[in-house]
Amino acid sequence: MSLIQEVTDSNFQTEVLEADVPVVVDFWAPWCGPCRMVAPVLEEIAEQMNGKLKFVKLNTDDNQQTASKYGIMAIPSMLIFQSGQEKDRVVGFKPKDQLVTQLESLLD
DSSP secondary structure string for all residues of 78-99: EEEEETTEEEEEEES---HHHH
What are the angstrom distances between the C-alpha of 107 and each of 49, 51, 73?
11, 12, 27
Contact status, residue 58 vs residue 66, Cβ threshold 8 Å: yes
Total domains, the chain: 1
Q: Which member of 29, 32, 41, 100 is catalytic? A: 32
* DSSP 8-state code for residue 8: -
Q: What is the pLDDT of residues 55-96, one digit of tens each?
A: 999 999 999 999 999 999 999 999 999 999 999 999 998 899
Active site residue 32: yes
Q: What is the pLDDT of residues 37-47, one digit of tens each?
A: 999 999 999 99
Indicate the pTM of the whole model.
0.94
For the domain that residue 101 is a member of, what is the CATH number? Answer: 3.40.30.10
Q: Which member of 35, 58, 79, 103 is catalytic? A: 35
Q: Which domain holds residue 75?
A: 5-107
> How is the beta sheet containing 5-7 ordered, strand by strand?
5-7, 54-59, 23-28, 77-82, 85-91
